[in-house]
Amino acid sequence: MSEPEASASPETAGSDEPGKMSFFDHLTELRTRIVWSLIPSAVGLGISLYFTSNVMKFLTRDLKTELVFTTPTEAFWTYMKVAMIMGIFIAMPVILWNVWAFVAPGLHKHERKYAAPFVIVGSLLFIAGGAFALFVIVPFAIAFLVTFGQEQGLKPMITISSYIDFILKFTLAFGVVFEMPVVITLLSMLGIVTPQFLSKNRKYAILINFVIAAILTPTPDIVNQSLMAGPLIVLYEVGIICARVVGRKKAKAAVAQEAAK
């Protein structure tokens, strides 16, 4: 893999100005980063196949009814789907590194050194989001939804694919949503948002967080929605703090650059 700086044009490489690339250069770089993200995901898939059975048992621990499958291939493809998602989790550090490498040419030279924190923090947040969904949201949701159906006099006959899809959807969604501080920090470094803008629009962000929680949370009760919205609000505030830190360092770098002229 090439270093992030290598994506900049020769005229800008080594300078403190963001690299300039043509539209087709961006497309080529994007294709390269996608390929280098798919390869470790495939490797992660191969690794995860060895313990997917144990993960399947763990995912079905909260369900008090017997799972069924309705087609000959359903159980197999569900097994493979779980393995693929685990492969993504395993490959997440490499995937995030490629995301950083793609946006790095748009950053100043002194900002490109934050690749390691971006990858490490982003990976930990993604795992934390997935774990939060598996250990907090999904058990509450499964208990509520299955019990609700039984109280209506219905007998549950849940297929393995629908149940696992339900879990994986929220695990991935929460993993992505928990990347909010990293995304905010990156947008601040690119100059798209500022800490002042984020603070000024905090009330709208809180409202949006509750809307997102209402959409992603599988149950209509306020408890589960608050369990989702609460961490989002906290992550938003963490993102503002990170944006302020980046802003201060950017200002200091600008002052030092002016002094050096």
Closest CA to 179 of 138, 230, 120, 219: 120
Sign of the Cα torsion 158, 160, 163, 166 reads negative
Largest CA distance in the chain: 79
Task: Give the per-residue pLDDT at 77.
Answer: 93
Sign of the Cα torsion 193, 196, 201, 203 reads positive
Sign of the Cα torsion 44, 47, 53, 59 reads negative
List the chain pLDDT tens, one digit each, 261 residues.
444 444 444 444 444 555 566 667 778 888 888 888 899 999 999 999 998 999 888 888 878 788 899 999 999 999 999 999 999 989 989 998 888 888 877 766 766 777 788 888 888 999 998 898 888 888 888 888 888 878 888 888 889 999 999 888 888 888 888 888 888 888 888 778 888 888 888 888 888 888 888 877 766 667 777 777 888 888 899 888 888 887 776 666 666 666 666
Distances (CA, A) of 2 to 68, 77, 104, 190: 47, 35, 12, 21
Q: Distance (Å, rounded) from C-alpha 33 to C-alpha 206?
A: 33
Task: Give the per-residue pLDDT at 12.
Answer: 41
Closest CA to 105 of 188, 15, 7: 7
Q: Distance (Å, rounded) from C-alpha 86 to C-alpha 81?
A: 9
- Identity of the amino acid at 39: I
Q: Distance (Å, rounded) from C-alpha 55 to C-alpha 60?
A: 9
DSSP 219: S
